Structure 1
Amino acid sequence: MGPTVAMRPKLMTTFEPIPEQYPIREYRGVEQQRPNKISKPALRTMTTQSSPVRSVPATTSAYPMYPGLQISTATPPRKTESKPMVLNRPRKLAGTSASGAQYGPIRDRKMSLSSNWSGADRNEQLDAQAWAQQILRRPSAAGSIVSNRPASRGLQPNELFATLPDEILDTILENLKDLHLAPNSDSCATCWMRDLCSLAVTSRRWCKVARFSMYRDIQLVGPDSASHKKRFKMAQGCRMTLLRRTLRENQRLAALVRTLKVPILDTGLASAIFARGDGSPIEQYDNKVAALVMACPNLERLAGPITSYDHSFHRIFHALSTRTKLKSMDWRIEAIAGPEGCRPDSSCSAAALPAELTSAQATVFLDHHRGWTNLQTLSIHCLPGASLAQGHLLERTLTCLPSLKHLHLSCLPANTFNDSNLLSLPKLETLTLSHIAGITSAGLSSFATKPNSQHLRVLHLRHSPLTALPALARLFSHLHKLTNFSLVQDFSPMMPEEDCFSLWMMPYLASPSLVKLHWDITCHMPGSVNDADDILSRSIAAGGFPNIRSIRTPNDARGAFQALCRPLEYIASASDRVLHTGSSAVSLRSASSLSSKSPIKSLSRSATVVSLPTTFATPPPHGTDLRSARIAAQSRINAERQFKHRFQVNVFDENGSAVENFTMGGYLGTLGSQIEYCLQPDPGSSDDKGGLVDVPDLAADGGEFIAPEKEGCTGSWNWREGVIADRKEKEKWWHTERGRWQDLRLE
């Protein structure tokens, strides 16, 4: 170790920099010839005169002095041309604050300048100001000028905006998209993409984010404009042709496309094209869509019209099979033409099963799925007479989809999907079984105990035979992650007589995770309560569903479910009362006719009943009309408010005699309940469809076609109120009238 040197720096006790009392010039050792000038008050306090400063050896004192801290009494000449030089400040000791070292010397130096030069003339004041400015800019160790205080300057245009990350700009554009495409918005997809185009030309910063948002989700809704048709001499598909040309010329834009919405083929134009003999308009349209799909290498979803698959070659299906990043696929299977199958208009019996596919047809259908390793959503809807029966075709198809999470099956015949196929399903989060005649209550009960069903969150059973309440109880008790359950059928699940003793132990039906419940038994008489409704309502009242927040029961005969929910003052609107005129009688007649013809009456209450007879082959396509349900619920609320008051009011005068007695405060429901009684349809559905989106609804137009009683969007919402719009202003916001398309999804 080296010798230890004791040092005693002359610092304050708070380790702040030393406030200088006198202006001191730079220390130069023996080269220092001009003594510093000091004030007269300072001379009075000094006991000795200081000589010109010389270098001090390190061995003269045990406490070495810092050069530049000695005080000199010499008086320098006053010259306005000479400016004080930059001082060599003592280095900051370890432990001193950085902020004090940075700003403290400057502040103290200004104080010393103002105190020492108060009696000087104007030239000296100018020298002091110049000295202070020079001190603020001190040389760094590398030789460059470093400013102790950042220079105050105004922000340049877009300087603060350029520092925002892309995530914030994406959030802004997502909110803009929600404003344009909201269900009750006056705007449309054309107006939304027009705003993105305008935003992209404002700056380079916005261009990157706006182009990404626009090409990530492309929506071509409604017919083409008249100018495009005249320019390209095409009746349909002008925008698709322009988009394909753009994507082929710019591969970077093509790589951004994730979702593509193509317009629906106009049936009027299609018939005109077919009459001219230009070929099949549907085939021409599918070829244009296929060419556009081939230009999108990273396509994840194709929305719009669903082309029917008849087990023959189509370019659109071949193009989709080559998209390895596809995440959603909707199949619409047609009947096979020829002796193997039967068309819907043929004389085949409704109870007869459709013919199986050939090996070549099954292989082609299976090959379409081999490249879809990222597919997450699959929906299959079979038209009358269609089938996918050929060995275990559906099971092998699902094994090719390792990322599958959402499966929706509709109208599959018994030889295509049955209990064995149900038990072999992979791990799913959403399962929809609509009009599946091949499954039974025993199959559903066994499916609930399978390990692959433990990840199920959403389960929809529409007109699929669930005949026994024990199967429903097992579904609720074993599916621990189930949050959304729907049951729609025109008969009530029955309770076996040997299990009736278990009804004394409520709750019989229980699910700790269920949040939303849709329960629609469409075929019981008005005013009557079936056993399933009674058991379910008693189970909810007993706490069997602690997390349930929403109940939709269109056939709540006596208000048993409505009494468990939060009280509502009004549930029906004025339009419901107007449109309900005459519809209630029709609904009651249809319900009574269905109940009289229901095969449930022929079934006995026994445990052996696990499936329905084959006569129950064509159930009604939809559920109960929600408009009628709202009218019935409002009538129950009015009856409770009028006849069943909850509070007794007694009015007394000053003498204590009773003046008036009356009751008030009637309501239907449970105060403090967390359950909402909902009778509104889901987005994309309607009142006459029961409020649920079914698999066949995916092939609908989604509001793209303009109904006679509705108006489309022409961009007129952007017109300035109170200002007369001229022709040039109208051209800024006007576009071809198009409908407001709504994306339909079952998951």
Structure 2
Amino acid sequence: MYQRRPSTGSVASTASSVVTKDSFDAILASPASSPRTSFDSWNSAPRRPEYGFQRPAPIKQYRRRREQGEILAALPDEVLKLILDNLKESHLRPGSFSCATCMMRDLCSVAMSARKLLKPAQTVLYEDIQLVGVDSITQKKRLKLNYGSRLVLLRRTLRANPELGAMVRSLKAPAAPQGVPLDLYQNLVASVIMACPNFERLLGFHQNHDFSFNRLFYALSTRTQLKEMHWTLEASQFQRKRRVSNAAPMLSAGNPNYQEAPGDLQPEQSDDFLELHSNWTELETLSIHCLPGATLTPITLLPDILSNMPSLRNLYLSHLPFTAFNDANLLSLPPLQTLTLSHLPGVSSDGLSSFARRPSSRSIRRLVLHHVDVDSLPTLAQILSNLTSLETFSLVQTLTPILPESEKVWLFPYLASATLKKLHWDITSNLTKATFADEILARSIVCNGFPSLRTLRTPNDPDGIFQSLCKPLNKIELSSDRYRGLIAKCGNGSRPRSPPDTPITPTTPKTAGSKSPASGGGLNFPMEDALFPSKVCSNLAQSRLAAQARLEAAWQKPRFKVHVVDEDGTVVEDYGIGGFLGRPGTDIKLDYCLAADPDAADENGGLIDIADFLSDGGENLHRDNNTREGCNGRWNSAAAMATSSGTADRRDKERWWHTERGRWRPVEL
């Protein structure tokens, strides 16, 4: 039974007893009757009336100490993957002292640091594999292999763990080593691709296709998730030169682009090449470049190939003869976002006009016409006005577009596009005076024909009519432009350069024969091209020097005159200020740009050319009798600082240092 405890905290309950001073103080001091709280953080100091109301101090909270790894375990894998993606980007960004090998080393260290980080680190490490440069000599000795030691280890890992193989999306295979048969090296790369069921793109390993069976291209044809494919076609051994009498008379008569076409492919070769594209329903980017003597026949082969690619968005066609691509093929192209036509003699101005009027062509956002020789100015007007999604347009050719005799320009703007943001205009037929097409374009810009245009690049602007339409600049030339000629004469340039007054003439690159074991799959660039004549292209370095000269000449023609007169009316000083070239004002948003695109060369007019795409991308450290600075892993190691004192630890050296390799960067067409 519970008994009720008598209350001791109430003064009324003790009325029968005598309340003394000591007993009253004891009652007030008891916990049950105390008017104050028992929290330790309560400030019991008396309050001062002059301070008014005072907020009591906050209650002190005691938090539980986190266990080791508890905060990391609370983060989702998506957040961890973003962190590791930034780590990877910091290694591979332009201007970084690191390389792909250092990036993989750090990701491996992260994967081994915590179990929570294992899966995100593996995803970042294996989804984009970059094997750059030569293999380590120590690794080849340990594995007893003459070539491809990293590819062999990668293949072993992917075969042993299919989950890792399913993560691989792209692969950068090392360049074929010298002295190794190319077919054996291609088979090794193909075996790695076959271990990746979700493979999407092969980067940096460009090989020719001569329409014979090849395991590398067969392995790529079996990847149903492939997103990107680049063909460099060379002549088949069964092809022969077609006689001129067999060509259509309309092609040979009065056509300056006419050249003798290569012979047709065998029917079984055409069928096999078409079969390679049957599984690429997810393909988004396709490029086809024909070396001298190569072709795609019959004329319906390319449309049949494109019909099997419903996801195609980007198309690059280069140096296809008129027997492989003509106006009919142009009109059969699917809806695209990016289209590049380079050195296509079978494409005419009428075909381009019909192509621009198609409803399916309105999805194009970037169009490049590289030496297609558009001879009609109305064709350019239809391209700019009908392609309602066009944002970037590039025109490079030697032929000047003209107006028909029956047509005259009455109203401006004659050339107009409401969506165009960047324009590259390079007509190299006249180096001393602006052409009629240049004047039409300049007046169209003044008449607000391109309200969204923000960047204008005109390498050939002898009169400066385009430079005067853009925002004034203080300096256009680069610090190295005036010394390029001296560097080339001393032999320190990466490539031979022409004199300042000589136009740059690019050539069609040609890869070395794939059947030669000694070549090792290297790339060379011959100076002759029998099938497609060389075309003149502006040099941006010379264009910047010319633009800087026009700018300095404008400084000598001031816009304002200053007369300083003393009290007697005598002129003390008389000078001019405000000389500039361009259109001032806050409403002028057009920039005059003479800088090349990323990874492009000034010698090609600033546009990405097939020669840039087939280059090594910085992987080769020894090229053109020059030595590039590579990465050996010492840029952030403690052992590198200890090297100066001679006390470097051997373990740190093995952990941080690696074989010197180039800093490779992918080049996108």
Flag whether TM exceeds 0.5 (same fold): yes
Checking the alignment, whether the CA contact within 8 Å between 1:509 and 1:536 is kept in structure 2 is: yes
Q: Deviations over 1:269-300 (max 9, x none)?
A: 33xxxxxxxxxx11011100110110111100
By relative contact order (CA 8 Å, sep 6+), the higher-ranking structure is 2
State the match for 2:634 in structure 1.
716
Q: Which one of the candidate residues 34, 50, 65 is aligned to 2:5?
A: 34
Give the match's secondary structure for 2:209: coil
Residue identity opposite 2:131 in structure 1? L
Structure 1: distance between partners of 2:406 and 2:363: 32
Report the counterpart of residue 543 of structure 2 in structure 1.
Answer: 629
CA contact (8 A) 2:373 2:398 kept: no
1:17 alignment partner in structure 2: none
Q: Which amino acid aligns with 1:574?
A: S
In 1, the alpha carbon distance for the partners of 2:423 and 2:331 equals 24
Q: CA deviation at 1:402?
A: 0.7
Tell me which moved more, 427-436 or 170-179.
170-179
Which of 591, 594, 601 does residue 686 from structure 1 map onto? 601
The reply to whether residue 484 of structure 1 matches residue 406 of structure 2 is no
2-side partners of 1:116 and 1:690: how far apart? 99
Distance 1:445 1:122, change over 3 A: closer
- Alignment counterpart, residue 29 of structure 2, candidates 117, 120, 143: 120
Mapping of 1:628-667 within 5 angstroms?
628-641=542-555, 643-653=556-566, 658-667=571-580
**1:336 equivalent in structure 2:** 236
Could you give the per-residue CA deviations for residues 226-275 of structure 1, whole angstroms, max 9, x where no partner exists?
A: 11222223332111111000100111111110011001113x333xxxxx
The residue type equivalent to 2:601 in the other structure is S
Q: 1:191 to 1:467 in 2, by over 3 A?
A: same
Partner residue of 1:699 out of 593, 602, 614: 614
Aligned partners of 2:480, 2:239: CA distance in 1, in Å?
52
Q: How far is the alpha carbon of 1:687 from its aligned partner?
A: 1.3
CA contact (8 A) 1:622 1:688 kept: no
The one-letter amino acid of 2:582's match is: G
Q: What is aligned with 2:263?
A: 355
**Residue correspondence of structure 1 range 159-308 to structure 2 within 5 A:** 159-266=70-177, 268-270=178-180, 281-308=181-208
In our comparison, the structure showing a higher alpha carbon Rg is 1
Q: Deviations over 1:465-484 (max 9, x none)?
A: 21111000000000000001
Distance 1:477 1:237 in 2: 53
Q: Match of 2:277?
A: 369
Distance 1:131 1:577, change over 3 A: closer
CA distance, structure 2, for counterparts of residue 668 and residue 205 of structure 1: 60
Structure 1 pair 155/654, CA: closer, same or farther in 2 (3 Å)?
A: farther
Pick the aligned partner of 1:381 from 289, 309, 328.
289
How far apart in 2 are the matches of 1:622 and 1:39?
109
Shift of 1:486: 0.7
Are 1:588 and 2:501 matched, yes or no? yes
- Does structure 2 retain, via aligned residues, the 8 Å contact 1:622–1:690? no
Per-residue Cα deviation, 1:660-706 (whole angstroms, up to 9, x for no partner): 22112222222232122221211221112221112353322111112
Deviates more, 1:667-676 or 1:407-416: 667-676
Q: d(CA) in 2 for partners of 1:476 and 1:646?
A: 36
Q: 1:523 to 1:716 in 2, by over 3 A?
A: farther
Show CA shifts across 1:332-374 (max 9, x none).
11111035468xxxxxx99221222222111111111111110
Q: 5+ unaligned residues in a row in structure 2: which ranges?
A: 16-23, 42-58, 243-251, 253-257, 490-495, 506-528
Deviation of residue 646 (structure 1)? 2.3
**What is the aligned counterpart of 2:439 among 534, 555, 559?**
534
For residue 329 of structure 2, the aligned residue among 398, 401, 421 is 421
Deviation (angstroms), 1:179 = 2.1
The residue type equivalent to 1:262 in the other structure is A
Give deviations 1:69-93, integer Å, cap 9, x for gaps: xxxx599xxxxxxxxxxxxxxxxxx
Aligned amino acid, residue 177 of structure 1: K
User: 1:560 aligns to what?
Assistant: 465
* Cα gap change, 1:130 to 1:696, in 2 (>3 Å): closer
- Judged with a 3 Å threshold, the aligned counterparts in structure 2 of structure 1 residues 386 and 722 are, in CA distance, closer, same or farther, namely closer
Residue in structure 1 matched with residue 583 of structure 2 by the alignment: 670
Does the aligned pair in 1 maintain the 2:128–2:168 contact within 8 Å? Answer: yes
Moved more, 575-584 or 173-182: 575-584
Residue pair 2:299, 2:323 contacting (<8 A) in 1 also: no
Q: 1:443 deviation in Å? A: 0.3
Task: Quote the residue 1:743 is aligned against.
Answer: 666
Counterpart Cα distance in 2 of 1:482 and 1:131: 72
Contact 2:477 2:544 in 1 (8 A): yes
SS of equivalent to 1:649: strand
Q: Report the AA paired with residue 699 of structure 1.
A: L
Give the deviation of 1:498 after TM superposition.
Answer: 2.0
Determine if contact 1:199/1:210 at 8 Å carries over to the other structure.
yes
CA-to-aligned-CA distance 1:100-151 (integer Å, 9 cap, x gap): xxxxxxxxxxxxxxx99983369999xx96999xxxxxxxxxxxxxxx9986
Whether the 8 Å CA contact 1:571–1:634 is kept in 2: the answer is yes
Contact 1:34 1:74 (C-alpha < 8 Å) held by counterparts: no
Asked whether the equivalents of residues 80 and 120 of structure 2 are also in contact (C-alpha less than 8 Å), the reply is yes
Q: Aligned partners of 2:379 and 2:548: how far apart in 1?
A: 34
Q: Is the 8 A contact 2:293 2:531 kept in 1?
A: no
CA contact (8 A) 1:437 1:617 kept: no
Q: 1:209 corresponds to which letter in structure 2? A: P
Which residue is 1:103 aligned to?
none
Aligned mates of 1:389, 1:542 — CA distance in 2: 47
Distance 1:178 1:652 in 2: 63
TM-score (norm 2): 0.82
- Aligned residues with identical type, % of pairs: 46
Count of matched residue positions in the alignment of Structure 1 and Structure 2: 588
2:452 to 518, 530, 547: 547
Q: Which amino acid aligns with 1:184?
A: G
1:588 match: secondary structure? coil
Q: Compared with structure 1, are the counterparts of its residues 405 and 119 closer, same or farther at alpha carbon in structure 2 (3 Å cutoff)?
A: same
Specify the code of the residue in structure 1 equivalent to 2:616: D
Change (3 A) 1:232 1:536: same
Q: Distance in 1 between matches of 2:534 and 2:26?
A: 101
Once the 2 structures are TM-superposed, how far is the Cα of residue 653 of structure 1 from its aligned partner? 5.0
Residue by residue, what CA displacement relative to the aligned partner does 1:556-606 show, whole Å, maximum 9, x if unpaired? 1111111122222122122210114589983534489xxxxxxxxxxxxxx
Structure 1 length-normalised TM: 0.74
Question: How much has 1:224 moved relative to structure 2?
Answer: 0.6
AA in 1 matched with 2:296: L
